[in-house]
Chains A and B, each alone.
Chain A
Amino acid sequence: GAVVSQHPSWVICKSGTSVKIECRSLDFQATTMFWYRQFPKQSLMLMATSNEGSKATYEQGVEKDKFLINHASLTLSTLTVTSAHPEDSSFYICSARVPSGGAVQETQYFGPGTRLLVL
């Protein structure tokens, strides 16, 4: 149980185009999902918290107009990188929090990640 998928697993795009990444919880409903960014040989950096049915909460320094997040259902959150530039190239990982009686400290399960390369 607690499987999270991401699509696509990798994407190459031209500078100036937009790219959408999907994150799905396959066997549970997730009211809260998270989006992280990871640079080579570095740790994960939280970008934003995605809440079903409401606006995402962005971490300090993350441009909300650049990284659009939509959490339209209890099993799907999307991250759209708008007008992508080479500096947006990175490994993007989502996670979903498994609900357990409403407690917020449940475990997060991670997707396999999406590698984005902007040319």
Chain B
Amino acid sequence: AQSVTQLDSHVSVSEGTPVLLRCNYSSSYSPSLFWYVQHPNKGLQLLLKYTSAATLVKGINGFEAEFKKSETSFHLTKPSAHMSDAAEYFCVVSDRSNDYKLSFGAGTTVTVRA
């Protein structure tokens, strides 16, 4: 079965500084990996996805993530944080072992300081 571990439950950054959200995955097959963002009392918005194409994936709002198979990691980065980036971020994995159902990480809360 596949699983995801988000290494930080809470990340606090200053506006204009880089953001790094760490995610490690476990999968016995070729995984698809996703990052979703959830603002308070809202649904989830897809930031980016990896599905066995380019290992460096660019998403919306300046976010990008790099798939590293040797490290089983899929860390999310953004060079310059904006106040609107304050939200909950979920790293998600799916593979054929579970009919491609999504397995969610516990989430990382991002706080942006002015």
Which residues of A does B touch, CB under 8 Å?
4, 6, 34, 42-44, 46, 49, 91, 93, 95, 104-105, 107-113, 115
B94 pairs with A46, CB closer than 8 A: no
B44 within 8 A of A: yes
B46 pairs with A109, CB closer than 8 A: yes
* Total A-B contacts with CB atoms under 8 angstroms apart: 49
The binding surface of chain A is classed by DSSP as strand
Chain A contacts for B34, CB-based, 8 A = 107
Selected A-B contacts with CB under 8 Å, 16 pairs: A4-B43, A6-B43, A43-B90, A43-B106, A49-B99, A49-B101, A95-B44, A95-B102, A105-B94, A105-B95, A107-B34, A107-B46, A107-B49, A110-B36, A112-B43, A115-B41
Chain B contacts for A42, CB-based, 8 A = 106-107
Q: How far is the CA of A42 from the CA of B49 in the complex (A)?
A: 22
B94 pairs with A111, CB closer than 8 A: no
* Interface positions of B from 82 to 114, Cβ below 8 Å from A: 90, 94-96, 99-102, 104-107
B32 within 8 A of A: yes
Please tell me which one of the listed residues B41, B49, B101 contacts residue A46 in the complex, with CB atoms under 8 A apart: B101
Q: Mark B32-49, 1 if CB is under 8 A from A, else 0.
A: 101010000111111001
Chain A contacts for B102, CB-based, 8 A = 34, 44, 46, 95, 108
